[in-house]
Each structure stands twice: as C-alpha cells, then as structure tokens.
Amino acid sequence: MSENALQTLGEFIIDKQDDFQYSTGEFSRLLSAIRLASKVVNRDVNKAGIADIVGHAGMTNIQGEQQQKLDVLANDIFITALSQREVVCGIASEESDDFIDIKCGPNGHLSKYVVLIDPLDGSSNIDVNVSVGTIFSIYRRVTEPGTPVQLEDFLQKGVDQVAAGYVVYGSSTMIVYTTGNGVNGFTLDPSLGTYYLSHPNMRFPEKGKIYSINEGNYSKFPQGVKNYLKYCQMMEGDRPYTSRYIGSLVSDFHRNMIKGGIYIYPSYANAPTGKLRLLYECNPMAFLAEQAGGKASDGFNRIMELEPTELHQRTPFFCGNTEMVEKAEEFMRIDVVKD
C-alpha cells in the first residue's frame, strides 16, 4: 500500500477542510453518512447472489422503469443514513416521485444542504455480477434556513454544486468525489471497513481511445452521432478507437476517466430528450469530469449551465476527454447546419 493510500477518507476530509469554502462539521458529517451508507450497500451487493435481493421488485419508478430489489434497498439505505444524522434538510432520489423534506432533531430544517442521489446506477447488471454504482450531488439550499425545503432548492444548475461523487461497486469498491478542488478516489479495504486514498488527483489522460455508447440503438441516433461513430471507427492516425460499453454510467465513466475515453447517451427516436437524468446523473458526472480535466455537454451546450425545470429532467449526455467531446460536438453542429 502506497504512502498516499495510508490516508483514510476521514483524515482526508479533515485535512482538506480549508480548501472547501463551505467547510463545516455538518458537511463532514454529510460525507460520513454517504460513506457509511456505501459500506452497507456494498455488503448487500456482494451477497446479492445468495440473498433474495436480485430481480425485479414488482414496481416501477417515476420514469416508468422497472425497479430492481436492490434499487429499493439502496434507496432506503441512503435515505436513512442521510436523514438520521441531521446533516441535510432535503433529499431527492431518482427512485422517488418527489423530493423528501427532512426535519430531524431540535434544529428542524436548519441544515444548509440538499442531496440528489441515484442510489444504484446500472442495477439491471446486478443479476449478472457486473459493476454498479451510486451517484450523488450536493447543493446548499437557496430558500430560508429553518423552513421546509422547496422544489427550487433542488432545481439548481450544475455550476452551483458544492460537491459531487460516485461509489463504484466492482472488483474493489471506491468512492470518488470532488468539492471543486480536483478529484480523489478512495478504495475500501473490506477487512477493515475503511476507505483509503488510492487515486489522488484523478485526471483524464490528454488523449482518449475509448468510446462508450449502446450501439444497438445506432439506427435511432441523430445523424451527428452516427457520423462521429464512423469517425471513431475510421482507420486514420490513432484510430480506430476501441468500443467499450458496460451499461452502468458509473462504471463506464470510471474506466474512461482512468484510461481515456468518451461516454455518449444521445437523444434518439424513443427518447427525444435523452434518457439520463440531468440532476441525478449528468450534473454530478459533469462536475467530476471538469474537475478531472474533461468536458461534459448535451451535444451543443455545457451540461452544468443547463437550467433545470423538472426534478426528473432528462438530457443527452456527451462526457469524457475534452478533445473527444469537442469533436463529437463538431459533428453535431455540422448535422444541424445541414438540416
């Protein structure tokens, strides 16, 4: 274990408090709640094959998607961990129809933070033992402290995030997060139940050679996306690029940040506004990407500048190496001009 890895997540949070303009004990406790919940979810994910927690839960979420049993379980775990520590005044989850107003303890609604979360991204992969993840986004509330949270506390642009991150449950379990001062990754030592700094100052490589997209939907893609994929596959220079697609945003993003690549989930015939959620998935990943030297776009506009109008708003998503995202945007603009 390297010298950097000997530093625990808790120690790192304390050491970096001065780098975070909103540094408070409350914020540290909030991150600790996410850390605790991730360990519980990790435990359940790792015993999914021998416990009755795989398969459909028999319900659909607000997006009309089949909920997996672990979707529901992870949602409950994170909501419980966050709501019982008096660290947030509101939670919005991809699995819940509406936001949750949290009033706990003698301080009532005095907490300054709201959390938006995708409790188990890529949960359909659980049954086949493929990596899944959790995505979280943290904002300071904009309404008056001491009052119940309102929808406007959650409908904030990505540029207003104070922290964001994800947990990837794979061959090892990692928390990767940013508070606007770079991206750092922490790997869970299961024998001790402790996260250690294993990936300090994570950055996208300058050049990427991986593209991640569900090519099964190729015929439904916008022409600009089709043309970019042809470019990726062309034998020229350092191309063709390699196609890698897991079907879990966390896993695909994590690989591409380490190895260099672009993730694309465009609009298409069956999803004219895209499929990924702006608030739960795209904004936090965009924050991480930009802090790691990458870029995130809807094909034309910076993701973190988009104005949210709905809690479960969707958007096309192009995210990864800056050079690759800009090239994809170029093909998108050319297609629009032709039309």
DSSP 206-247: SS--EEE--GGGGGGS-HHHHHHHHHHHS-STTPSPEE---S
User: Max CA-CA distance within the chain?
Assistant: 65
Whether the per-residue pLDDT at 58 is higher than 90: the answer is no
Burial of 34 (0-12, 13-18, 19+ CB in 10 A): buried
Cα within 13 Å of Cα(191), Cβ side: 0
For the annotated binding site, the residues are 94, 118, 120-124, 214, 245, 275, 281
Q: What residues form DSSP beta bridges with 139? A: 114
Burial of 178 (0-12, 13-18, 19+ CB in 10 A): buried
Give dist(CA 120, CA 154) in Å, integer: 20
Domains along the chain? 4-199 (3.30.540.10), 210-338 (3.40.190.80)
266 vs 54: which has the higher pLDDT: 266
- Check residue 53 and give its pLDDT: 47
Give the range among 197-201, 218-222, 292-296, 333-337 with minimum mean pLDDT: 333-337
Contacts of residue 152, Cβ cutoff 8 Å, sequence gap at least 6:
142, 143
122 vs 224: which has the higher pLDDT: 224
For the annotated binding site for Mg(2+), the residues are 94, 118, 120-121, 281
For the annotated binding site for substrate, the residues are 121-124, 214, 245, 275
Whether the per-residue pLDDT at 337 is higher than 70: the answer is no
